[in-house]
Amino acid sequence: MNSFLTPPNSISTKTMDRKRFLGIAAGAVLIAGSAYYLTSDTSNLVRDDINPGEIEKFPLKADEEAILFLASLAPSGHNTQPWFIKYVQPYHWLICNDRGRWLPGVDPQQRETILSIGAFVQNLEYAAHHLGYYCKFTMLAATNQDENILNVILTKTGNTAQYDIQKIKLRRTIRSEYLVDALSKEDLAYLINGQTDFLHFVPNTAKEYKLINEQTIEANRQQAYRNAAQAELATWIRFTSKDTERYRDGLTLAGMEIEGLTAWYLRNFYDKTDVMKSAFRQQSIDQVKRQVSQSAGWLLISSKGSSVNQLLETGMRMQRLFVDVRGRNIAIHPMTQILEETNNKQSINQITGISDTVQFVLRTGYVKNYPQPVSLRRPVDWFIRPNTT
């Protein structure tokens, strides 16, 4: 899932040309006390800075709004949030596929779109159970391109599953500062959870680990220099705080873990045209090289096929894993370019010997500190529509 895409970490101070960086730093010092600095874009917006907004289109029940917002905290490629809800009546909705949020440059068959919607569905089910509702889902879609994916009716049961919804709220993709320590047997068993038909771990001591690293770097290189993919990426990067607040989606600087002076420079002096320049492309590849050198291994999620139902189930499986790892200080970073670029010398199946279809490639490892989530989400009112069918 291409949030699974690795967003280029733009210009990090570690990789920036020394002369250029010193010039930027000197300029920052000169303007630090000036009116320009005070009126410039000085800090990254994060999730806590944004007011979720108020429901206006539909008089939603409080539980409906809570459930749908928690569902929307699911990950998606470039954080496009490719779902919307058709409102039939209270607690009866259609979960839909938003064509305007597809990523044809890296996901031309909408495989990753459906996986993302599966993650959304899993969050919805967890949140509904927490508030004492049973979800009845009915499949509507026959293809990845169909608009209506699932019909869902929520029925109050009087019982609560006591699911810890903080797990949904605190889920975060971490891209840097992974430890190379091996996962303990207990933690690995916890991750796999007996699902050996679907979850496969490649430790950093295995020869396959090095091959996946190499092919991931190569796939990122291909994608960075493929103009359609790079232009698509540029469309979804939110450099300025103004765009961040306006859209509440996409790849923000905070979400890409860019802070401090570098973030200030990018917010004030970068735009989408810079993403297409060679320097930006090369810096993103260099960042990937650093990332793949830091992990305990690769966790792969496969499915028996690629029907809409199987993709939804796989997205749900991934989300169940993703919301559970924080408590063990295990980070997950989806890096799916190896599945998206067809010119790789070796496919993930050839490297690992997995016969089923690999749907997720997740870099995995321990981290010392688990930061709070910062990626933005649209208010519920922005992704709910009347059912006119």
Q: In this predicted structure, what is the pLDDT of residue 4?
A: 41
Average pLDDT over residues 79-105: 98
Q: In this predicted structure, what is the pLDDT of residue 10?
A: 41
> Domain 48-171+374-386, what fold?
NADH Oxidase (3.40.109)
Place of tokens 């320590």: 181
Query: What b/e readout covers 142-165, taking b as 16+ CB neighbours within 10 angstroms?
Result: eebeeeebbbbebeeeeeeeebeb
pLDDT higher at 295 or 56: 295
Cα 98 from Cα 84, distance rounded (Å)? 6
Query: What b/e readout covers 88-120, taking b as 16+ CB neighbours within 10 angstroms?
Result: eeebebbbbbbeebbbebbbeebbbbbbbbbbb
Q: In this predicted structure, what is the pLDDT of residue 159?
A: 75
Cα 135 from Cα 124, distance rounded (Å)? 9
Cα 115 from Cα 243, distance rounded (Å)? 27
Average pLDDT over residues 5-17: 43
User: 77: exposed, middle or buried (C-beta count within 10 Å: 0-12, 13-18, 19+)?
Assistant: buried
Q: In this predicted structure, what is the pLDDT of residue 388?
A: 86
Mean pLDDT of the chain: 90
Q: 48 falls in which pLDDT band (50, 70, 90)?
A: confident
For residue 315, the SS3 value is helix
Q: 207 falls in which pLDDT band (50, 70, 90)?
A: very high
Going by the DSSP 8-state scheme, the letter that residue 342 receives in this structure is T
The architecture CATH gives domain 185-366: 3-Layer(aba) Sandwich (3.40)
Cα 74 from Cα 156, distance rounded (Å)? 24
Cα 281 from Cα 234, distance rounded (Å)? 11
How many Cβ atoms are within 10 Å of 128's Cβ, its own excluded? 27
Q: What is the pLDDT of residues 304-322, one digit of tens each?
A: 999 999 999 999 999 999 9
Domain boundaries, the chain: 48-171+374-386, 185-366
79: amino acid identity, one letter? N
pLDDT exceeds 50 at position 22: no
Give CA separation, 112 vs 291, 306, 312, in Å: 22, 11, 10
For residue 238, the SS3 value is strand
Q: 27 falls in which pLDDT band (50, 70, 90)?
A: low
% residues pLDDT > 90 (the chain): 81
How many Cβ atoms are within 10 Å of 65's Cβ, its own excluded? 18
Q: What is the pLDDT of residues 171-185, one digit of tens each?
A: 999 999 999 999 999
Q: Rg for the chain (alpha carbons), in Å?
A: 21
Q: State the virtual CA torsion across 242, 245, 248, 251 in degrees, nearest 10.
A: 40
Q: In this predicted structure, what is the pLDDT of residue 9?
A: 44
Range with lowest mean pLDDT among 108-122, 150-164, 289-303, 305-319: 150-164
Average pLDDT over residues 267-278: 95
Q: In this predicted structure, what is the pLDDT of residue 299?
A: 98
Nearest to 147 by CA among 78, 101, 90: 101
Q: 24 falls in which pLDDT band (50, 70, 90)?
A: low
What residues form DSSP beta bridges with 251?
237
pLDDT exceeds 50 at position 45: yes
Average pLDDT over residues 208-219: 96
pLDDT exceeds 90 at position 37: no
Cα 173 from Cα 319, distance rounded (Å)? 12
Residue 43 φ then ψ, to 5°: -150, 150
Range with lowest mean pLDDT among 136-145, 340-349, 378-387: 340-349
Q: 94 falls in which pLDDT band (50, 70, 90)?
A: very high
Q: Which two tokens stand for residue 235?
A: 């469309």
Residue 359 φ then ψ, to 5°: -110, -25
pLDDT exceeds 90 at position 55: no
Assess contact for 83 and 120: CB atoms under 8 A: yes
